[in-house]
Amino acid sequence: MAIAFETIPKELVSESSVYDYKTPLVKLIEKINEEGAVVVTRNKRYYGVVDRKALGKKRNLTVSETLPVGKLAVKTAVVNAGSSINSVIKEFNSSSTNALPYMENNKVKGMLKRNGILKTMLSLHMLSDKKVSEAMSFPILVIEQDEDVRRAKELMEQYKVKKLPVASAKGEIYGVLRYSDILRFGMKGASRSSKSNKGTVSMSGTRAGDIATHDFRTVDSDSNLEGAIRDFINNKSSTIIATRKSKPVGILTISNIFELASKEISTTDYDIVLSGLDEYTKEYESDLLNELNRMAEKIDRFSGIKVSYMHLNVKRIKSRGYQLKAMVGLTNKGVTTIHVEDFNLYKTMQKLEKIMYDKIKNQKELIITNRERE
């Protein structure tokens, strides 16, 4: 997974709509559903993201015409030229949002969506050796198709889930019951009851199978996970039911994919990758990694600066000379590059470390100076 330490390809960044915190939510519902998410600013500074998930939480509640969109905004980390694929995967996993803002020079320039990163996972084969069963959530709540829909509603509220697989009498998958469908069914019944002056309608006697949807996707729990990821991308679905011998055994969501990918990412403190090592320099790989980790720890002591990743290319020139090219990604601060040459590897590495430290230190002092002027 070393290639995942590379920066985010610019082609994954899509256009985004940006709105002020005070913009009424009702005016943006269509835009959020259409684009998947919008960025919210406050006092012209990034404030957060509002996506379809946030709307879903308000779907069955009365929304005031003056409710500002900022009330639903979720504050996330931002993506920039210094962000690595690994760091973005971790952020999607921790934030559970559908999109992250992409910024340049402290201005929102676009949006990075989860589907784009799913495609990257496929192209890098990051989870090619994983099965669906390793990512899915289990055990799962299942309700039989003949069960009263009121019982299904109670289970969803008790366990805080929005969907329930519905099984036939044989235990095979029959459909999916969504909480929103239950509420819509109740509201339609109440409306009919009101018109006929019979009072509030009861859902008693309505079976879960009567209002369950058959528009769902399944995947064998023992199948390769990449097939399920393609399904998420191609069908724009967010949930797939995992089955074994046609019986539901788990739920697979996009969030499950990011959670597993985050666990698979290298457990080292920093995303560090070496390239260009040959038969003469391979023996120094461990020493170089240790030096870079030590350097990253030293840089991280600067207030407000965090190393996202490091990439070092080693090249032998002439008989005993060395050329080192380093690229350091700093969270929210872009990329710093260093290029040095010297007689032996030890001296060249020392020179690189000094230039790297001084360059980032100067960058830090420049940031402080600019803030004081503001």
Q: Which of 190, 193, 191, 180 is nearest to 152 (CA)?
A: 180
Q: Are 132-264 and 271-366 equal in CATH topology?
A: no
- The mean per-residue pLDDT over the stretch 134-141 comes to 90
Q: Tokens 């528009």 map to which residue?
A: 215
pLDDT of residue 221: 96
Q: What CATH number matches the domain at 271-366, 2.60.120.10, 3.30.420.40, 3.40.50.2300, 3.30.160.100?
A: 3.30.160.100
Q: Shortest CA distance to 303 belongs to which of 353, 360, 249? A: 360
Q: Whole-angstrom Cα distance, residue 355 to residue 146?
A: 71
Mean pLDDT, the chain, integer: 84
Q: Is 358 helix (H, G, I), strand (E, B) or coil?
A: helix
pLDDT score for 197: 47
Per the CATH hierarchy, to which homologous superfamily does domain 132-264 belong?
Answer: CBS-domain (3.10.580.10)
- For residues 175 and 189, is the Cβ–Cβ distance under 8 A? no
Q: Does the structure show a pLDDT above 70 at 151? A: yes
Which pLDDT tens digit goes with each residue over 329-373? 887 778 889 999 988 888 899 899 999 999 888 877 765 555 555
Mean pLDDT of 104-129: 90
Q: What pLDDT shows up at residue 238?
A: 81
Identify the CA nearest to 272 among candidates 293, 252, 242, 303.
293
Cα dihedral: 181, 185, 186, 189 (round 10): 170
* Residue 321 Ramachandran class (φ > 0 left, ψ -120 to 50 alpha, else beta): beta
Q: In this predicted structure, which of 3-7, 48-52, 139-143, 319-323 has the lowest mean pLDDT?
A: 3-7
d(CA 261, CA 331): 20
pLDDT tens column, 60-77: 455 678 889 999 999 888
CA nearest neighbour of 247 among 324, 146, 171, 342: 171
The pLDDT-based confidence of 284 (bands split at 50, 70, 90) is confident
Domain range list for the chain? 2-124, 132-264, 271-366
- Give the mean pLDDT of 292-299: 84
Lowest mean pLDDT among 263-272, 290-299, 325-334: 263-272
Q: In the chain, what is the straight-line distance between the N-terminal and C-terminal CA atoms, in Å?
A: 42
- Lateral strand order in the sheet of 173-178: 143-144, 163-167, 173-178
Q: Name the DSSP class of 222.
A: T
Identify the sign of the CA torsion 66, 96, 157, 161: positive
- The answer to whether residues 97 and 76 touch, using CB atoms and an 8 Å cutoff, is yes
Contact at 8 Å (CB) between 215 and 233? Answer: no
pTM of the model: 0.65
State the chain's maximal CA–CA distance in angstroms. Answer: 96
Asked whether the predicted pLDDT for residue 2 surpasses 50, the reply is no
Give the model confidence (pLDDT) of 169-210 as tens digits: 888 999 999 887 888 776 555 444 444 444 444 566 789 999
Q: Does 233 or 192 have the greater pLDDT score?
A: 233
CA 220 to CA 243: how far, in whole Å? 5
3-state SS, residue 189: helix
Which parts of 236-344 fold into alpha helices (H)? Answer: 254-264, 285-299
pLDDT of residue 374: 54
Q: Which of the two residues, 98 and 6, has the higher pLDDT score?
A: 98
Least confident of 27-41, 43-57, 115-129: 43-57
Average pLDDT over residues 19-46: 92
- Structure confidence at residue 179 (pLDDT): 84
User: Residue 118: pLDDT band by 50, 70, 90 thresholds?
Assistant: very high
Q: Looking at domain 2-124, does it have CATH number 3.10.580.10?
A: yes
Count how many Cα atoms sit within 13 Å of the Cα of residue 2 in the half-sphere of its side chain: 7
- The predicted pLDDT at position 291 comes to 83
